[in-house]
Chain A
């Protein structure tokens, strides 16, 4: 896009502003709104969990399932075929366009009888599909299997939480670790709640996916916090911004990145969900895709709307930052820095240090309504008087 094309845009829309780094969304100030939204979703989800529980897959309940590729069959034909083979209460579903899945609870039978029945059902399904029994996939699961997988996953989760909190505490600071941790718990609760609300089936794959989500949510939060830390060492020192304002600025600075990254992460998952699972009927992919989709959305949301406002809130309770926030509130010329203006300002300080080789010809012109060079100097003077 050329310079000329850009200058023609007089008043950029919301997207344009994000693109040019000129957003001034008040993420921190409206924390009550964000927190309320999250709490409503979580309470709804947990309420549903309390009332309806989970839709657990056979991996958790124990049972058997069979799968076959049958282009010319139907659910009713498949059902009667497996019933004839001796399956008393089968559930038959169509996966994708050509795959049929039959599942049933055969736990009451002995191992030997289960094997015999399984082979009979396989043969019957293969006959329906016009193929041989080796083309039928089967899965038979003991009732403790799902629980044992989940148990290991929970172990992994706890160790992961500890490691992550330790890492962020050391690399960043303990309050950031706490905010990131709460954001992760938020994502966990939202995902669990959504699964219960919509009755999505829980399989061991879902458990895996949830672990990934937490990793991803954290990854997202770390990128945002890295910017906060940068600014805490930079623009915050000038004394013009309260901690909350600084976090707000950081959020707006990373907004384009957050949106881009979330889109880039969600696009492949959407592809997994739609192409992989729906068109081609791969259930494992569907299980992963669904949990990842819900979780990535929640993760992107929580890094921006939960972790960061929470961090600002916790930090502003510290005496030195509380004082700073008081001063910011009392200022009559209270203004919000856009990322572009902040960058410009950082550029100027860079120039004062005679670091930059930029010529004045390439300097950005200021936007009315945002910080002008005059204001910055005035505040800098004010700071010196203190």
Chain B
């Protein structure tokens, strides 16, 4: 075994390089204006965790992620993420100003279905019961058939005239279809969005929202809000087939158990013509309702129904106060630790202070850079806690080394020899202990969900930093200081408990 750990020259180089890299990268990130990507609990914002209501394949869940991602981005909020954790979808919108509006849009989790309107049915009374089996269709005089509706194009502003078939009163004893029974293959009774008391009996779903390529809310020449949509390549012929079958009848657009709109098909035309891939829905839309319908049509088609498991909205003020609390706690904790180590180790304590400063500078630079590249989990309270916990682990590496140093000095060795020998035994301990810590961090990161991942990530990162700093910073600094010392004269031998002869002295 070599008597000395590394040559003097290589240690000076590694010390200077480490300090230069640590503070240089801090200055670089600061001057670039990069900062950590703050998590939701610090920046404020919205987070929802959805679980599939029924069994869903991985491919289904991937599609859900894509669709929800589109929905969130369609709202024009920046920094939103949608990702899969196990079978759960986590939607996170940090810094969302109007979190409740975002939630309402993203939260429309159901599939978009196109169902023919069979008839309008009466409001349920208090005695109404859940229908067992499939819901029967209305008597023929209530049905919204082509004949009963009697759509005729004319020159009126609307462009057509039609009859309104009577509301079927027999259904007042039947409850609105509950979500579990709202399946594409069933006849269902559903409410009409924005029209309390209006319920439709709808037939089986004939098409899903996957047929829709794009949908936008626009104003027509008269300034009325309409929704213009284009169909996908495969959706276009399917749409034409459905539209032809329901020509001059109403087709309901169902989302999340609610009829969004029930437009008549081509009422201004005497005969059916192909939609040729595009269409327009008009009606009594407001700007908001048209936009909502467009978003629902374009992004609504989910392959599975989702249930919210956990919804969290953090106000920016509370987020900010949590950030202040976290950083404040971290700084107070750090100050206490530094005070203690200086009191205990004197001159060696200053090595810890310098080491922690370099570690902190490098860590901040890395977190900021990672936040800029969006690779790392965002920096949240759990992450801050991970880093605060790692203060203990980082300082412990110094303590292990310094106690070994004291042991060696007690054994009557000179400080020159002690710094080398002490480091060798301390390095083994640090490696073994940090391996355990890293093992914990990696396992937690891989297996756990939610906040735990951020916590584990930052704990693991600081542990790696600890190994790096112990080798490239503490080792050269302490050994160089130790070699410079002539007995009793240097800063190091001033360090309490280190002076040979003092330890076992009576």
Contact = CB atoms under 8 A, between A and B. Distances in A.
A357 B333 contact: no
Contact of A343 (B314, B410, B437): B410
Residue with the highest number of chain A CB atoms closer than 10 Å, among B322, B341, B443, B504: B504
Interface stretch (A1-9, A35-43, A84-92, A194-202): A1-9
A119 B107 CA distance: 14
A284 interface: yes
B340 interface: yes
A208 B433 contact: no
A344 B410 CA distance: 6
A358 B392 contact: no
B340 A340 contact: no
A20 B503 contact: yes
B444 interface: yes
B176 to A, nearest CB: 11
A197 to B, nearest CB: 24
Interface string A206-250: 001101101110110011001100100000000000000000000
Contact of A160 (B100, B333, B341, B439): B439
A187 interface: no
Nearest to B352: A264
Interface in A329-386: 339-341, 343-348, 350-351, 355-359, 362-368
A44 interface: no
Contacts of A80: none
B443 A271 contact: no
Contact of A222 (B340, B432, B449): B432
A117 to B, nearest CB: 13
A195 B54 CA distance: 36
A155 interface: yes
Interface string A266-294: 11111110011101111011001100100
B433 A347 contact: no
Contact of B396 (A211, A223, A362): A223
| Residue among B3, B407, B501, B503 with the highest chain A CB neighbour number at 10 A | B407
Interface in B71-126: 86, 88, 97-100, 103-104, 107
A269 B310 contact: no
B504 A344 contact: yes
Contact of B321 (A111, A171, A281, A366): A281
Contacts of B441: 215
B488 interface: yes
A268 B501 contact: no
Q: Which applies to chain A's interface (DSSP): helix, strand, loop or mixed?
A: helix
Interface stretch (A26-34, A46-54, A254-262, A318-326): A254-262
Contacts of B406: 21, 256
Given A141-B309, A208-B448, A362 B433 contact: no
Contact of A366 (B41, B313, B393, B504): B504
Contacts, number: 354
A313 interface: no
B489 to A, nearest CB: 12
A223 B429 contact: yes
B399 interface: yes
A169 interface: no
A79 B501 CA distance: 68
Nearest to B404: A257
A131 B315 CA distance: 11
A358 B412 contact: yes
A163 interface: yes
Contact of B332 (A145, A261, A271, A343): A271
Given A205-B451, A208-B455, A362-B501, A344 B332 contact: no
A56 interface: no
Interface stretch (B145-153, B265-273, B368-376, B413-421): B413-421
B158 interface: no
B499 A3 contact: yes
B432 A212 contact: no
A24 B370 CA distance: 49
Is chain B's interface secondary structure helix, strand, loop, or mixed overall? helix
A270 B346 CA distance: 23
Interface string A174-208: 00000000000000000000000000000011001
Interface bracket on B: 35 or more
Given A137-B315, A264-B399, A344-B411, A167 B435 contact: yes
Interface string B170-195: 00000000000000000000000000
A138 interface: yes
B232 interface: no
B334 interface: yes
A277 B443 contact: no
A339 to B, nearest CB: 7
Interface of B: 3, 41, 44, 49, 51, 86, 88, 97-100, 103-104, 107, 307-319, 321-322, 324-326, 328-330, 332-334, 336-337, 340-341, 344, 346, 381-382, 384-386, 388-389, 391-393, 395-396, 399-400, 403, 406-408, 410-414, 416-417, 425, 428-429, 432-433, 435-437, 439-441, 443-444, 447-452, 455, 459, 487-488, 494, 496-497, 499-506
Interface of A: 1-3, 6-7, 10, 19-22, 59, 67-69, 99, 111, 115, 119, 122, 131, 133-142, 144-145, 148-149, 152-153, 155-156, 159-160, 163-164, 167, 171, 204-205, 208-209, 211-212, 214-216, 218-219, 222-223, 226-227, 230, 253-254, 256-257, 260-261, 263-272, 275-277, 279-282, 284-285, 288-289, 292, 339-341, 343-348, 350-351, 355-359, 362-368
13 contacts: A134-B99, A137-B313, A148-B309, A149-B448, A156-B448, A159-B443, A208-B451, A211-B448, A261-B399, A266-B392, A267-B337, A271-B330, A339-B407
7 A-B pairs with least C-beta separation: A347-B411, A268-B333, A265-B392, A276-B329, A215-B440, A280-B325, A271-B333
Given A152-B447, A160-B440, 4 more contacts: A141-B310, A160-B444, A212-B459, A285-B325
